[in-house]
Structure 1
């Protein structure tokens, strides 16, 4: 600080004397790590701005196709979708089931993801306010939206070294969907994370209607092909004639750290709790079925119920497909005396009422055939972190006249 001072005894013609005096005003310390974070933050602002421009350009080309390049995390921080993709470990319990069959293990992992209850997004997609949780939080809360399911399944597949990306599009059955695309040796596979089903690209029964956008941990690709149906799409996203990419090759702004953890920690589900829940669901269903039949008596066939209870665990282990079981001979004995109608229902557990609603919608309880008997069995298969697979087998038995 410079101070100008005139001496009192000096004439006005005297020269001015300048003095230097040091006054302590305070200090500010900038840690080097903070400077690095500030630099990274500035880079991310540039990248996010680039992503917004990219989205507008894509919408100008194909207004009806889906494109998501940025979202908010559960702390309100604006992020690129690429930061959600990272190889993550599935539960060890699933890895130990099929030790020598990698394909069966992948199917089981897809099934596990499909058992996480699904919630719809409360915000409109096109206003740019999507909020996505990390895969770890999705599992810890045992709930997630379509995109969070797809990201979780994609991250599990990456753990196995698969070449996997998240696919955004539309479905005939579900509207807006998020699938997982895996690149195999000679084909592409499309995985629905909400059902656990896998379809080949040219499968005519695949419900996927359009392929609009892909993203992995490094880039986002928008489909600019005129025909975006799965059978017609060229999935080689390295070709710019088919796919518009957010970042050009060797772009330096995509090295931002993933927001996913290094690994996911799982805990075992309490088996006593599962048994209590199974008994409670069974009791509630029996009471409801009798309520739904106020004008008719409801008789329970214990023999058939015993058979159904033995069948359900085997259906879970075989993911619900047909298997030859030992109880078939006992069923044949029943068929000598009864006309049996029924089928198993499988669903992720959310609450007891959802199970009751699913059984009611089958309409099996409404049988007015004289002397109808019923059989009911409930089975719950526990997975880690209180993720449950609920099975209900309801059958009606009418005696042959």
Structure 2
């Protein structure tokens, strides 16, 4: 048996992604299956720099062992979709020849307006088939969907409610087409993915059927959701491993918590969890994060790593930065106590954040920074300084006031320089911290309304 995890390098691996990854890991461990890592990177405009490397790092942090990938290739590569375009070209031509798809010249604008109108009328947001029988030889390529009948499977639906999905546009495949081709050619036997893909399942059934493929066995597993009463911020629903680490949640706790959610039993490792794992007995309803339980598991894990403090500190700092961090702290220290006091930016405590002003200008500044930081492609001292200069000029702030407002991001005034901290903890963690601070300011300001 062969399974795959197929992240896209358009963002971080958040808790929902990791839950799905670990469900695949448990299945693989229980049935001695091969686990393949495929990078679905055809959405080039949205791909993030270093995102692929970050995926590997995050999987390592929760000790996920991959059998085949770009770093450990097997017989069925390449393992990046951008390196497989020639394969997709062959199969899209085959699908056209078999009459399973057609060329469409409708603009995306027209189709989007059409779908919005359909929704307002209470109809499914589907393409109307305007170009279905025009016999065009160029344009986007759409899937041909039956007009009558019912798609029977995990998700019963009238074919008339299934969209004629775009399979090829701008000289490259869309997710739906490339995904099916890759699963077939990489000999994937079982697909475990989130329930949010259920509505796309009929399209994948059609593509497999048109091309005469043997379909993998699909399982659609629950999604991780937030309760409205949860303490996790709405801004932070998609928090990744680095963000949790920066809040003092160690990677071992994240692993244990997620695998316990999957098997509904408190377990300490993958091996133990796999003995309880049953794909047919997974919860049917979506899963909500229980922050208190995560903290309790973290407490237990901390007892186990207390004798390995340096490695814990290393896990909170970007890979390879530990020695540099200690050198920066020692340079500003007179006694040993000073060195660890300067590490306050590592042991950042959301609860103990003390805002200086709690004002609207502070709230505006941090919101502007958050927007600019998220847009930043290269996280460097110069690029960060340019953002700061632009915003201080725009708001007419003095440098001292600006730096004072930013102090809570790095812990307190007793730290190494702001820019050193930014580069050490990384872009994702800085964004997470600002999001938490903004929520705190927002709540404080609205207490007085």
Q: TM-score range by the shorter chain?
A: under 0.3
Please state which structure has a larger fraction of its residues in strand. 1
State the structure with more CA Rg.
Answer: 1
TM-score (norm 2): 0.20
Please state which structure has a larger fraction of its residues in helix. 2
TM-score (norm 1): 0.22
